[in-house]
Each structure stands twice: as C-alpha cells, then as structure tokens.
Amino acid sequence: MAGTLGYDKQPLPRRFDLLCHRFLSLRNFVATIASFLPGIVVPLNPLLQIEATVFSWFKSDSRRKQIREDRKYLKARARRLLKSYLSSDGPRKQRYYEVVAGAAAACQPGVSDPNLENSQLARATAEAALKIVKLRERNKRDGNDCVETLITDAYATVAVAYRRASAVYAVDQEMQQLGTAAVHLLTMATSYMAAQSADITPRDDSFD
C-alpha cells in the first residue's frame, strides 16, 4: 500500500548535506562580491529560487514522515471511533462528544503568545495528542477495557483533526478525508459541550 500511495521511504540523495553546504557557500560568496561592487548588479534571484527549493525538500520530507507516523499510530484508531460514532444512536453520540471534547481540551497548548498562528497551535495540539496515544499504548492502557480504548481512540481522532487543520494531509487524499471527518466530529463535540455548559450555568436573574 505504501508504494501505491507514494509514501514509501525515499531517502534524500547521497551527499545532499554537502550540496546544501556548497550552495550556502556560493550564496555567501555572491553576497560578499556584491558588497564590494555596489555598482554591479549581481543576480540573486536564481539563488533564492534554489534556496526555496532546497528548504521545500526538507519540508516535504518532514511532512511524509509525519504522515507515515500518523498512519501507524492514529489512522486505525480514528477510523474505528468515527465508524462507531456514525453507527450509534442519539444518547450514545453524546458520549462520543464528551470524550472527544475532553481529549481536545487536554491537548490544548498552555501558551498565550499572540504571535502564534493558528497552524502553529494546531500542530502543537496534534503533537500533544499523538504523544498521549503513544504513551497509552506503551503503558498498555487499553487491554480489554472498552472505556480505555475509547479514550485512546479519542486522542487519536483529535490528533488527526488538528493535523488536518494544519494542512499536513494536503498531499494524502485518504488521510485528508479521514481528517475532514475528524474535524467535523470535533466541531460537533465542542459545540455540544458549549451548549451543555450554557444550560447548566445559572442565570443571574435571582433578583428579577
């Protein structure tokens, strides 16, 4: 399957690090020449294009690694939870809302930096959820306990949802679709819990 989807391990070309080093050396050399010859225009655009290409290779390789890891730890769990949710009735759906919303709340990064973008927050939340899934698997929290399995699956679903939100799955149609379903469930779960909180919050009308 990995070969079909195009996510089999593809190591970077040999001596790629040497290529990067030579490129940076060339770029510095051209910049130095330009500083000594202010009257001569040195074409830097081709070098900037090469630089963008080099770093896009690194970004693409990192994205493929993330997708492979998500397929290993998250895909089956998120799909199982989503299928169970779709086949459940109304009262049971509320149980899924509660556990998914709780998992999402537990993974929110404890930062208040206004400079952070939504994509950065999404990546941080996804990483936190993935770490919890790995930890629970390592500690064998599931076993034959359906509740513990549901909790771990909920963290996996949250991780997939936030991976989708951070555009990691843009190059993988299958994971993109799974992520979209996870985002929809997370949105409904958050809305449900917000509505529940509003219903139980006492109104300040005791003196009316």
Please tell me whether residues 108 and 173 are part of one structural domain: yes
Total of domains in the chain: 2
Please tell me whether residues 156 and 70 are part of one structural domain: yes
**Sign of the CA dihedral with 147 first, then 151, 157, and 161 last:** positive
Please tell me whether residues 74 and 176 are part of one structural domain: yes
Question: Would the pLDDT of 72 be above 60?
Answer: yes
Question: Would the pLDDT of 151 be above 70?
Answer: yes
Please tell me whether residues 33 and 112 are part of one structural domain: no
DSSP symbols for 113-163:
-TT--HHHHHHHHHHHHHHHHHHHHHTT--TT-HHHHHHHHHHHHHHHHHH
More confident residue, 106 or 24: 106
In the block, which residue shows the tokens 């509320």?
Answer: 94
**Sign of the CA dihedral with 146 first, then 150, 156, and 157 last:** positive
pLDDT at 31: 59
Residue 8 lies in a domain: no
pLDDT at 141: 82
Contact of 124 with 157, CB cutoff 8 Å = no
Please tell me whether residues 163 and 72 are part of one structural domain: yes
Alpha-carbon distance 120 to 165, whole Å? 10
Question: Would the pLDDT of 203 be above 70?
Answer: no
DSSP tag of 38: T
Give the burial string for 6-29 (b: 16+ CB within 10 Å, else e). ebeeeeeeeeeeeebeeeeeeeee
pLDDT at 102: 96
Residue 192 lies in a domain: yes
Q: At what angle do helices 16-36 and 45-73 cross, to 10 degrees?
A: 150
Residue 205 lies in a domain: no
What average pLDDT is seen over the chain? Answer: 78
Please tell me whether residues 120 and 32 are part of one structural domain: no
Range of the domain at 55: 13-61
Residue 207 lies in a domain: no
Please tell me whether residues 41 and 90 are part of one structural domain: no
Residue 150 lies in a domain: yes
Q: At what angle do helices 45-73 and 118-138 cross, to 10 degrees?
A: 40
**Confidence category of residue 201, pLDDT binned at 50, 70, 90:** low
Share of the chain above pLDDT 70, in %: 63
Residue 4 lies in a domain: no
